[in-house]
A and B are shown apart, each in its own frame.
Chain A
Amino acid sequence: YSFFPGTPRWPANRRDLTYGFLPGNELTDEIKAVFSSAFQKWSAVTPLTFSQTDSLLTADIKIGFYSGDHGDGEPFDGVLGTLAHAFSPPSGRFHLDADENWIVSGDVMRSAVPSAVDLETVAVHEIGHLLGLGHSSVEDAIMYPTITSRTRKVELANDDIEGIQWLYGSNPNYNGSTTPTSTTEERETSGGEI
């Protein structure tokens, strides 16, 4: 694991973070639930909690889909290439490339479209950046930089957990191991209310 220069992190008095969505994207509850599931991966191993707010203005983490040049100096490049980016704490800006073919649910590996990208896979990775993690050379880690199309990787590896717990400490309920969950089971439970 790695950190951003200076090891920025959310301050100790901000452990209960809120996230909001760009209203113009008009995301469905099903799509928002994917992000909720992604946040839970990180809250399961840290003392951090994440809750959705309707106010993008006051949200700690601001999530939006954008195309091309969207004003932050890091333009998106169309289908594939760069998929998303996120800023280090306490910026909270989380941008996804609107031109990608995002798969919200279902087995992305069975998609007939070569450019299909699993939304939750990318969301879990970018949340790592929002919390202060940089990229990792460990291929199994969520924070590995490349995110291949038609693949799904949403479980934190030991490398990710060690990194994030170095920044924030452990969740008191964390028992030291991640709970393996099959893709089918995850999909069935991630479509509900946030």
Chain B
Amino acid sequence: SLFPNITANPPWLHPNATFLAPWDAFIKFAGCHSGETRHGLSKLKHYFSNFGYIPITAPNFSDDFDDELEKALKTYQQNFNLNVTGQLDDQTLQQIVKPRCGNADIVNGTTSMNSGKSPSFHTTGHFHTTGH
């Protein structure tokens, strides 16, 4: 759908119409934490797998909030300058559901986004300094 200008939207695109974007359902995982099992969590793992945060080691992902998902979350949070909690907090979920480029953030396990930089930088988002 290519619209020459913003007034050329077709009538079926009602401004107030609600629709579900592919990742909007992830919002329901707010508050979910390590050790829990939630139906559909495997789809979130697929999301992280698509963008390089979880290696594809098995044909199917489980619905368990396991260590692998927690590690992926922490890396994602580092890359997007979020608080590194390893939890599905609101701030992280709001970032996850945003539309984005389909290219992976991490290719072949390597990245030079924040998570690929030195630990002293990416854990806090700034350098530690001491006044002398």
Contacts and interface: CB of A to CB of B under 8 A. Distances in A.
Contacts of B2: 27, 31, 65, 102, 104, 119
B4 A125 contact: no
B101 interface: yes
Interface stretch (A12-20, A45-53, A131-139): A131-139
Interface string B90-128: 000001001111110101101111101000000000000
B5 interface: yes
A147 B100 contact: yes
Contacts of B98: 146-148
Given A102-B3, A107-B6, A135-B113, A79 B100 contact: no
B131 interface: no
A126 B103 CA distance: 9
A78 interface: yes
A168 interface: no
Contacts of A149: 99
B107 A101 contact: no
Given A81-B22, A112-B15, A134 B99 contact: no
Interface centre among B22, B105, B113 (most CB of A within 10 A): B113
Contacts of B99: 80-83, 117, 146-149
Contact of B102 (A83, A104, A110, A148): A83
Contact of B13 (A1, A78, A113): A113
- Is the interface on chain B under 10, 10 to 19, 20 to 34, or 35 or more residues? 35 or more
B98 to A, nearest CB: 4
Nearest to A187: B5
Interface of A is mostly: loop
Contacts of A108: 6
B1 interface: yes
B85 interface: no
Given A2-B111, A134-B107, A103 B6 contact: yes
A103 B111 CA distance: 32
B11 to A, nearest CB: 11
B100 A99 contact: no
A110 B95 CA distance: 22
Given A101-B9, A136-B113, A86 B103 contact: yes
B23 A81 contact: yes
Contacts of A23: none
Given A27-B2, A74-B102, 18 more contacts: A79-B19, A82-B99, A83-B102, A85-B101, A100-B1, A101-B1, A102-B1, A114-B15, A115-B13, A117-B99, A135-B103, A137-B79, A137-B113, A145-B51, A145-B80, A146-B99, A147-B98, A147-B100
28 contacts: A1-B112, A2-B113, A27-B2, A30-B4, A65-B2, A79-B19, A81-B23, A82-B99, A82-B100, A82-B101, A83-B100, A101-B3, A102-B1, A102-B3, A104-B2, A104-B3, A113-B13, A116-B9, A117-B99, A119-B2, A126-B101, A137-B79, A139-B81, A145-B80, A146-B100, A147-B98, A147-B100, A148-B99
